[in-house]
């Protein structure tokens, strides 16, 4: 097949760029030709670059010229991902059989957070529609600006209007499949294809880090309660918890200051270095005993947990969103009800760290579980969807 991949960026720091950078070589290895049409300027920088022989930037070349060049390439099918510019998305749907991969709640939530922030941070289960306007500001679903609310509502409705044009929609978890199945006409065209992790077998390392957290330092990711949980963990263990908190975000300055106070109190010894690259991430996971995944928004999948499992690192996570796609409670990690809060999360971390036999069993099963989420399995399933849409026009 000739597969045109569409995404808003060719290069960046996001999970979508990482996914596509890994996917393209696998598609090419199976004999498919792959090209990339993207919305942003070609000069955009970032740690991850999607490499394809033929690429076109709409920002640089303009909509007509970029689509003319892509059309001359003669795609059989388009595989579309994140696309903020819906004029580009509409042209894709009109031009070629298009399979959409929903990496987030696009069209299913005004802000994309799928969570209320007030009076507490809780997942939202509403179907996205006009009724959301009544909740957006009082429940602080996003920025406290009416103009932004109206803009995001209009964008969500335009995205929903494109749903009927997709030949199929791919998501990474059954949770996301259930979410999008609530929109008219999508249920029969949804395909849950779990993500994958890959890389060389991790080298053995001393497990000198108790806990690792990797993610953006925001309340949605649970960063605001992470140090409280680690404090409770240290008190339960009767010693400082050694932790690495890798990530950047608005909470980092406050977390750095609080970490210093907790270090002085003798409960937490945490390093908060900001963003870490892939080599540093792999080093941290090779040294970790437990991954903390305290997200309180409904993670579409939670790939970081699967990446940790490849290193034999079990996760303690709040039971939200698509986490259950890869975490089986009590086997390769432990789920905590999000309503139980920081104390329960910290005590669960302590439970795992205190019981070496249980931790080693969780670690062994985490490694075994990660082996099921392979690129081979993902690409084979995706290939079938793309082929069916190309040949039979699934609707």
pLDDT digits (tens, 9 = 90+) for 200-224: 777 777 899 999 999 999 999 999 9
Contacts of 125 (CB under 8 A, 6+ apart): none
pLDDT for 324 equals 97
pLDDT for 394 equals 44
Tell me the Ramachandran region of residue 14: left when phi exceeds 0, alpha when psi lies from -120 to 50, beta otherwise: beta
* Exposure on the CB side of residue 38, measured as CA atoms within 13 A: 23
Q: Is the pLDDT of residue 288 over 60?
A: yes
Question: How many CB atoms neighbour CB 394 within 10 A?
Answer: 16
Q: Where are the domains of the chain?
A: 2-197+374-392, 209-370
Bridge partner residues of 2 (DSSP): 33
Q: What are phi and psi of 128, to 5 degrees?
A: -70, 120
Mean pLDDT, the chain, whole residue set: 95
Report d(CA 226, CA 245) in Å as an integer. 9
Q: What are the tens digits of pLDDT across the range 261-271? A: 999 999 999 99
- Same fold for the domain at 2-197+374-392 and the one at 209-370? yes
Q: Is the pLDDT of residue 79 over 80?
A: yes
CATH class of the domain defined by 2-197+374-392: alpha beta
pLDDT for 395 equals 41
- The closest of 45, 46, 51, 1 to 24, measured between CA atoms, is 51
Helices (H) and strands (E) in the chain, counts: 14, 17
What's the average model confidence in pLDDT over 235-244?
97
Per the document, the length of the chain is 395
- Minimum mean pLDDT among 10-19, 317-326, 368-377: which range? 10-19
Query: What is the percentage of the chain residues whose pLDDT exceeds 90?
Result: 92
Torsion of CA 332, 334, 338, 343, to 10 degrees: -140
Q: What are the tens digits of pLDDT across the range 155-171? A: 999 999 999 999 999 99
Model pTM score: 0.93
Q: How far is CA 387 from CA 46, 86, 373, in A?
A: 32, 25, 22
Bridge partner residues of 122 (DSSP): 116
Q: What are phi and psi of 116, to 5 degrees?
A: -90, 145
What's the average model confidence in pLDDT over 329-358?
97
- The closest of 226, 220, 247, 223 to 105, measured between CA atoms, is 220
pLDDT for 365 equals 96
Q: What are the tens digits of pLDDT across the range 97-106? A: 999 999 999 9
CATH number of 209-370, picked from 3.40.640.10, 3.40.50.1970, 3.40.50.970, 3.40.50.2000: 3.40.50.2000
Query: Long-range contacts: 335-338, Cβ < 8 Å, 24+?
Result: 338/122, 338/123, 338/296
């Amino acid at each position: 097949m000739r597969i045109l991949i569409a995404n808003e960026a060719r290069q960046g720091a996001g999970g979508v760029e990482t996914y596509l950078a890994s996917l393209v070589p696998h598609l090419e290895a199976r004999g498919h030709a792959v090209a990339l049409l993207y919305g942003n300027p070609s000069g955009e920088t970032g740690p991850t670059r999607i490499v394809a022989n033929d690429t076109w930037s709409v920002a640089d070349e303009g909509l007509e010229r970029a689509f003319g060049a892509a059309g001359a390439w003669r795609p059989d099918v388009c595989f579309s991902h994140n696309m903020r510019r819906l004029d580009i998305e509409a042209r894709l749907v009109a031009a070629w059989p298009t399979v959409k991969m929903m990496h987030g709640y696009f069209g299913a939530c005004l802000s994309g957070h799928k969570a209320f922030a007030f009076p507490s941070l809780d997942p939202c289960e509403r179907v996205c529609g006009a009724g959301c306007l009544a909740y957006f500001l009082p429940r602080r679903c996003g920025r406290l600006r009416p103009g932004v609310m109206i803009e995001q509502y209009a964008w969500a409705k335009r995205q929903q209007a494109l749903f009927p044009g997709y030949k199929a929609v791919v998501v990474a978890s059954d949770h996301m499949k259930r979410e999008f199945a609530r929109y008219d006409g999508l249920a029969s065209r949804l395909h849950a294809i779990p993500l994958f992790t890959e890389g060389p077998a991790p080298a053995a390392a001393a497990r000198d880090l108790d806990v690792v957290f990797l993610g953006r330092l925001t309340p949605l990711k649970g960063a605001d309660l992470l140090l409280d949980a680690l404090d409770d963990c240290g008190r339960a263990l009767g010693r400082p918890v050694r932790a690495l908190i890798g990530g950047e975000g608005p909470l980092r300055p406050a977390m750095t200051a609080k970490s210093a106070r907790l270090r002085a109190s003798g409960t937490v010894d945490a390093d908060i270095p900001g963003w870490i690259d892939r080599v540093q991430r792999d080093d941290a996971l090779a040294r970790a005993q437990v991954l903390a995944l305290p997200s309180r928004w409904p993670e579409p999948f939670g790939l970081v947990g699967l990446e940790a499992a490849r290193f034999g690192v079990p996760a303690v996570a709040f039971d939200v969103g698509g986490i259950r796609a890869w975490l089986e409670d009590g086997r390769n990690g432990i789920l905590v009800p999000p309503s139980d809060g920081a104390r329960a999360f910290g005590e669960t971390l302590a439970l795992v760290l205190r019981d070496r036999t249980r931790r080693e069993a969780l670690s062994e099963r985490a490694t075994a579980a990660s082996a099921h989420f392979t690129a081979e399995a993902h690409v084979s399933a995706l290939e079938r969807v793309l082929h069916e849409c190309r040949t039979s026009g699934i609707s």
